[in-house]
Structures are given as C-alpha cells and as structure tokens.
Structure 1
Amino acid sequence: MQTYLVGGAVRDKRLGYPYSERDWVVVGARPEELEAQGFTPVGKDFPVFLHPKTREEYALARTERKTAPGYTGFQFHADPDITLEDDLRRRDLTINAMAEDEQGQLVDPYGGARDLEDRLLRHVSPAFSEDPVRVLRTARFAARYHHLGFRIADDTLALMRSMVDNGEVDHLVPERVWKEMERALGERNPEVFIRSLRDCGALARVLPEVDALFGVPQTAEHHPEIDTGEHCLMVMQQAAQLSDQTPVRFAALTHDLGKGQTPEDEWPRHINHEQRSLPLVKALCKRVAAPKDYRALALLAAEYHTHCHRALELKPKTLLKVLKASDAFRRSERFEQFLLCCEADARGRTGFEQRDYPQADYLRQALRICQSIDNRAIAERGLTGKEFGEALERERLARLGELRAGTNRPD
C-alpha cells in the first residue's frame, strides 16, 4: 500500500500559492484494509475515507467509465491493481494530475510541472470532454490564476467548444453550476470566469441573460467602453477590488441584465432597463440555484442602482424609498453591500476606475439622520400604530429635506 499527496496541494505548493486542504490517493489497498486502520468511509459512489487523526480525505486509486450524459453518468472502479498513473489520467487538467510520494518526490506523468511553468491550463486526455463540469472548473482556474499569467491552452479551449456544440454542457445541473460559480466569484479575477465561458460558447448555455449583453451598445458619454457586456465584466473587476464578498460580485455581474432586452431602435439608450432586469435576474437565479441572499441583493442592485447614482439629486420621498427598499434600517450589512455594488458600477467604466463616489457617503448620512430620530419622543405624544408610523415618516422626510437643502450635506 502506497500513499500519495495529489491535486491542489501539489499544484499550489509548486506555485507558491496558499492552500489549506490536502487530498491523498492510496494505491494497492482495499477498503477493509483502510477501515482496519481506523479510517472512516464517507464516499457514496467510490471509496473515500477520512484519516482517523487529521480527518483529511484518502481515496482509493480508481478509474472511471462514461455510461450516460452529464457529470453523474460515470461508473467508477477501484481495485488494488490500479496504478497511480491510471488514477491521475482521469483528472481534468495536467496541473491537477501531479502527485508527491511519501518522500516528497514529484510524480508527473502528464506534464503538469511543465504546464505550470508555461502558465497553461491543459486537459490531461480526451476523457476531459466526458464531464461538462470540467468546462466550469477550467474557467474557474483561469479566474484563479489569471494574475499569474495563466491561460487556457488552445486545444483545451477547442475541446470545451466541442462540448458546447455536441450538447454535453446542456446536461449541467443547477447545483453544480452554482458550486463552481460561487467559487469562481471568490477568486481574484472573477470576470475571467465569465470571459472564459464566453470564449468557448458555454456562457450562452449557462448564463444566456449575461451573454445577451455583449454587442449591446451604451452611450459613449457615460460608457466609453460602449459594450454592455464588457461594462459588466469591468464592474465585476471593480467589485472584486472593493470587496471579497461574493454576493456583491454576483450582483455586479447581473445589475444591467435588462439592457440585453432593449429594442435595437432605442440603442444606445436603455430607458427602464432597471425594471426589465428584474424577471431576468429571477430567471438566472432560479437556473443556477443561487441562494436567497444572492438573489435579494442582485434584485436590489438591478432595480435601484440608478437611484443610488442620482442620490444627491433625489427628493426626500425618493431617498427614503431607497432606504426602505434596501431594508437599510434593519439590515445594515445588505445596505452596505448595495452601496458597494453601485460604487463598482460607477467605477466599472473606461476612464472612471478611480473616480470618487460621494453618493455612497450621502446615502449613509441619510440613514444615520433617520436613525437619529428619537422614537420615544414620538411615542410620548400618545401616538401608536398607524399614527406613530405616519409621524415617524414625516419626521424622516423633514430631516432628509434638510439634508437635501445642504444643512447636513457631507463634506
């Protein structure tokens, strides 16, 4: 029985990139032998065990055979006669098909170390095309290592295109799409995930609402980059620089979906695109199984980002509407996420990347002013229920009126 460190830990160690998890492959063993040593079986489809002390995953070397479309259409086979090279051959990319033996020596039968040096994401074998999730994973790795100069190899990109053309990508299920997408949103360059999917044609199948934005023009005065799809990628990039929160980055991606539905005879203007965005955001979130908090923030940013941009011009009634719609009085964290989305939108334009965004501080001050109202003083006037609510509303509007008049404007 031999044990090898495999996968991401081997890859990232050689890159000098931080990693926290270690995975292991065991060659020449049977399940009962590991259980006799105290390992706990956890694998449903193939033998995977947790180490009795470290709780790290140890998998028996295995091969797989395609039996049906999609990522679940595989039959796995684990046997003591299966070699390490057999196990590594079934992996997606060469940089993920390296191993280290118990002495720390590299085992690299498919050229992963060379591809690390060449900054290439290359498939191990034609079997790559049997699992549509690998299209998403490759795009995610492109986002993860973009800042290090990595790119998808031409032959691998061609293979990914063929998987789109032959319909294999259409067998992706929402839960796996979201798992890869959420991880990609957490990378340093999440916009590269979207661009990579578009490069191979998968974006039109997975996120058609986003794909529809490319080629749609905007007014050059406000959007020197012109193309709406490119704008959304720039907004994602700005969101990644402003925040490590993945819901913010997701909302940045989806905030302008309605522009993809603007009639061509109205281009480059996009009147009422905010309202057109809402059903598209809902449809996208349902298709990829996005969690409720992601959906809520995406809808909020889609409907009210223009209001935020115009905050300094808003009448008190509209300003209060934005605060209520964002649930700012109860959910300050989501309100801050909304402001980050809007700031990313304002900066996600060619030449505007370093532009200040005073609107966010103005809205924060508006919230603080409303929160400073003494509710007890209103209650002491004998007001309850509806009358109390109406009095509080009047006081808030009065305070916001003073803010708009300049009495309490931020410096």
Structure 2
Amino acid sequence: MKTYLVGGAVRDRLLHRPVHERDWVVVGATEAEMLAQGFRPVGKDFPVFLHPQTSEEYALARTERKSGHGYGGFTVYASPDVTLEQDLERRDLTVNAMAETEDGEVIDPYQGRADLDARLLRHVSPAFSEDPLRILRVARFAARYAPLGFSVAPETMTLMRGMVDAGEVEHLVPERVWKEISRALTEPRPDIFIQVLRDCGALKVLLPEVDCLFGVPQPPLHHPEVDTGDHILRALRQAPADLPVRFAVLVHDLGKGITPEHVLPSHRGHEAAGLPLVKEVCQRLRVPNPITTLSLGVCEYHLHCHKAFELRPQTILKMLRALDALRRPERFEQFLESCEADARGRLGLEDREYPQVDYLRAARDSAANVDPQVLISEGFQGAELGKALDRARLQALTNLKNTYGTPG
C-alpha cells in the first residue's frame, strides 16, 4: 500500500503557485483496508475516502472504461493491482497526470513537466475523447493559466473538435455545464475560456446565442472593435472577478445576434430583443435566480446607464425601481460594474472615464435617503404615502441633477 500526492497540487507546486487543496491516490489497497484505518467513504461512483484527521480526499487507484455517453458514462475498476501509471493515464492533461512520493520525488510518466515548461495543455491519451466535460475543463485551465503563457496544444484542440463533431458535447447535462462555466468565469482570463470553446466548436453547441455574436458588426463610432463577439471578450476582460457580473456581461448583448441584416450595423432595440434570449440561456443552464435577475437587468438597462446624464429624473427613478436598487444596493452595484465593463470593453477605450457609475450611485442614495417616517408624521398613509414617497424621491433626483451637472 503506497500513497501519492497527485494532480493539481503537484502541478501548482511546480509552477510555484499556491496549493489550496491536496488529493491523494492509494495504490495496492482495498476498500476494507481503508476503512480499517479509519478513512470515511464518500465516493458514489468509485472508492474515495476522507482522511480521519485532515479530511483530505484519498482515492483508490482506478481505471475507467467508456460505457455510455456524457460525463457519467463510465465503468470504473478499482483494485490493488491497478498501478500508479494506469491511474495517471486516465487523467485529462499531462500537467495533471503527475504524482509525488512522500519524500518529494515527482513521478511523471506522461511528460507533464515538459509541457509545464512549454506552457502547453496537452491530453494524456486518446481516452481524453471519452469524456466531453474535459473540453470545458481544458478551456477553464486555459483561462486560469493564460497569464503564465499557457495555450491548448494543437493536437488537443484537434481532438476536441472531433469530439464536438461526433456530438459528444450534446450529452452533457446542464448542471455540469453550468458548474464549469461558473468556475471558468471567475478565472483570470474568462475571455480565453469563451475563445477556446469557440475555437473547438463547443460554444455553438453550449451557448449558440453567444457564438452567433461573432462576425456581427456594430457602429465603429461607439465600438471601434466593430465585431460584437470581440466586444464581449473585451468586456469580460474588464469585468471584476465576480461571477454574477461576468455572466451578466457575457449575455448583455445577446439581442445583437438577431438584428436583421438590412439594418446593420445599427442595433436599435437590442436590449428588449435580448431579454427572451437571456431568459432562455438561464433556464437551459439552470442559472441561479439572483444571477438571472442581474443579467436581465443589465440586458434591459445598460444603455440607460451609459446615457445616465441624459435621463430625466422620472426615468432614473423608474430604472431604480425596476432594478430594485433601493432594497438591494449590492445588486445595483453589480449592475453598475457590469455596465462599466461594457463601456470599457472597446478597442482603445479600456481606460476611459466612466462617471455615470458615480452619478447613478448618488441617485440611488438620494432616493434611498428619503425617510418615509417623515411623510407618515405628516399624515400620509396607504396609497397616498406611496405617491408622496415618489414625489419626494423625484424631487431628490431633480435636485441631484441640478447640482451634479454633466461631465465635459
């Protein structure tokens, strides 16, 4: 019975990156032996155990055989006669197929260390093609390690394209797809995740509403980069590493994908046109409700944000109500961050000033600072109280507009 540190912990240590969790593989042991040593079983599909003191995961060395479609279509074989090399061979990428002994020796049968040095994400074996979820994992790793110069190996990209062409991606369940998307969007380069999926053809299957934005022109006066898909990638690079904000940025311009060709490059009304598409994507991927709500708000009102200084106080108050900004200031802040990323996700305008966010923050605060108790003390109640509140908030927004001025 021998125990090895495996996977990401070995990879990140060799890259001199922080190691946040450690996984172990046990060779030459049975489930009974693990239980006898106090390990707690947690694996449903294959034997995984938690260490009695550290709670780190220890898995028995295993092999896998394809037995169906999708992520779960495998028959697992775990036995004391499975070798470390056999266990590592079933892993996705060579950089994830290294192990380390208790005394620090790195075991690297598939040249993962060489690929780390070459900054390549390369599949271990043809068995990679048996699990379509690995396409999303590779794209996610590309998004994580792009700042270090990593890219997907050409032969791995070719293999991924073949998997897409074979229809394997269509068998992925929405929950697994969303889990990978949600993790990838918080990586340092979420735009690389989308680009890799597009390069192998998976984006057209998983997010066709986003894929069709590439090649759609926009007015160069407002969008010097012209291409809508390019704009989305640029906006993702500008967005803070917050999942709701980045997902809202990803889908905020879906309406531009269905603009009739004869009116291009204009996209008048794309906000309203995009709402049903955003709803469809969120329903299909089982996106959590708070993220869906933010995404719909950004889709519908991002142009309001860009034109904030041109809006009448009545329009601003209506927008604040629609976004539930007075009761949910944290979501309104995410809305502002999404709109700022949209404004800066344009060629040559990455460092532009965007004073609209400060103005709309001040507008929200002005409206929120109207005290209903003062109005109640003046005798207002019921429906009349609501009307009085609206009048007071409208006056506060009017005063703000008169004192704030228009930048420039």
* TM above 0.5: yes
User: Secondary structure of 1:114's partner?
Assistant: helix
The alpha-carbon deviation at position 325 of structure 1 amounts to 1.4
Q: Contact between 1:262 and 1:273, CA under 8 Å: does it hold in 2?
A: yes
2:130 and 2:197 map into 1 onto residues whose CA distance is 17
1:286 — aligned with what?
A: 283
Counterpart residue identity of residue 361, structure 1: D
The alpha-carbon deviation at position 408 of structure 1 amounts to 4.2
1:308 — aligned with what?
A: 305
Counterpart residue identity of residue 315, structure 1: R
The alpha-carbon deviation at position 43 of structure 1 amounts to 0.4
The alpha-carbon deviation at position 289 of structure 1 amounts to 1.6
Q: Which is worse superposed, 349-358 or 280-289?
A: 280-289
2:259 — aligned with what?
A: 262
The alpha-carbon deviation at position 410 of structure 1 amounts to 8.6
The alpha-carbon deviation at position 374 of structure 1 amounts to 2.7
TM-score for both structures, normalised by structure 2: 0.98
Q: Deviations over 1:44-102 (max 9, x none)?
A: 11100000000000000000000111111100000000000000000000000000011
The alpha-carbon deviation at position 288 of structure 1 amounts to 1.6
Q: Which is worse superposed, 15-24 or 153-162?
A: 15-24
Q: Deviations over 1:206-260 (max 9, x none)?
A: 0000001000000000000000000011111000xxx221110111111000000
Q: Deviations over 1:151-178 (max 9, x none)?
A: 0000000000000101011111101101
1:135 — aligned with what?
A: 135
1:60 — aligned with what?
A: 60
2:352 — aligned with what?
A: 355
User: Secondary structure of 1:349's partner?
Assistant: coil
Q: How many residues get paired? A: 407
| Pair 1:373 & 2:370 matched | yes
Counterpart residue identity of residue 189, structure 1: R
Q: Deviations over 1:129-186 (max 9, x none)?
A: 0000000000000000000000000000000000010101111110110111111011
1:110 and 1:149 map into 2 onto residues whose CA distance is 21
| Pair 1:396 & 2:393 matched | yes
2:368 and 2:170 map into 1 onto residues whose CA distance is 50
1:23 — aligned with what?
A: 23
| Pair 1:276 & 2:273 matched | yes
2:89 and 2:260 map into 1 onto residues whose CA distance is 49
Pick one of 216, 241, 244 that aligns with 1:244: 241
1:322 — aligned with what?
A: 319
Counterpart residue identity of residue 218, structure 2: Q
Counterpart residue identity of residue 110, structure 1: Y
Q: Which is worse superposed, 206-215 or 393-402?
A: 393-402
Q: Contact between 2:309 and 2:406, CA under 8 Å: does it hold in 1?
A: no
Q: Contact between 1:251 and 1:297, CA under 8 Å: does it hold in 2?
A: yes
Counterpart residue identity of residue 403, structure 2: T
1:45 — aligned with what?
A: 45
Q: Deviations over 1:91-140 (max 9, x none)?
A: 00000000001111000000000000000000000000000000000000
2:374 and 2:44 map into 1 onto residues whose CA distance is 62
TM-score for both structures, normalised by structure 1: 0.98
User: Secondary structure of 2:274's partner?
Assistant: helix
Counterpart residue identity of residue 306, structure 1: L
Q: Contact between 1:251 and 1:341, CA under 8 Å: does it hold in 2?
A: yes
Q: Deviations over 1:254-298 (max 9, x none)?
A: 100000000000100001000111111111112222111111111
1:16 and 1:97 map into 2 onto residues whose CA distance is 17
2:28 and 2:368 map into 1 onto residues whose CA distance is 67
Pick one of 278, 295, 300 that aligns with 1:298: 295
User: Secondary structure of 1:80's partner?
Assistant: coil
User: Secondary structure of 2:403's partner?
Assistant: coil
Q: Contact between 1:362 and 1:409, CA under 8 Å: does it hold in 2?
A: no
1:407 — aligned with what?
A: 403
Counterpart residue identity of residue 254, structure 2: L
Q: Contact between 1:71 and 1:172, CA under 8 Å: does it hold in 2?
A: yes
2:92 — aligned with what?
A: 92
The alpha-carbon deviation at position 409 of structure 1 amounts to 4.5
Q: Contact between 1:218 and 1:226, CA under 8 Å: does it hold in 2?
A: yes
1:215 — aligned with what?
A: 215
1:409 and 1:237 map into 2 onto residues whose CA distance is 31
User: Secondary structure of 1:77's partner?
Assistant: strand
Query: What are structure 1's unaligned runs of at least 5 residues?
Result: none
Q: Contact between 2:189 and 2:237, CA under 8 Å: does it hold in 1?
A: yes
User: Secondary structure of 2:314's partner?
Assistant: helix
Counterpart residue identity of residue 378, structure 1: L
RMSD: 1.0
1:139 and 1:373 map into 2 onto residues whose CA distance is 48
User: Secondary structure of 1:276's partner?
Assistant: helix
1:372 and 1:214 map into 2 onto residues whose CA distance is 44
User: Secondary structure of 1:145's partner?
Assistant: helix
Q: Contact between 1:238 and 1:347, CA under 8 Å: does it hold in 2?
A: yes
1:230 — aligned with what?
A: 230
2:175 and 2:351 map into 1 onto residues whose CA distance is 37
User: Secondary structure of 2:233's partner?
Assistant: helix
Query: What are structure 2's unaligned runs of at least 5 residues?
Result: none
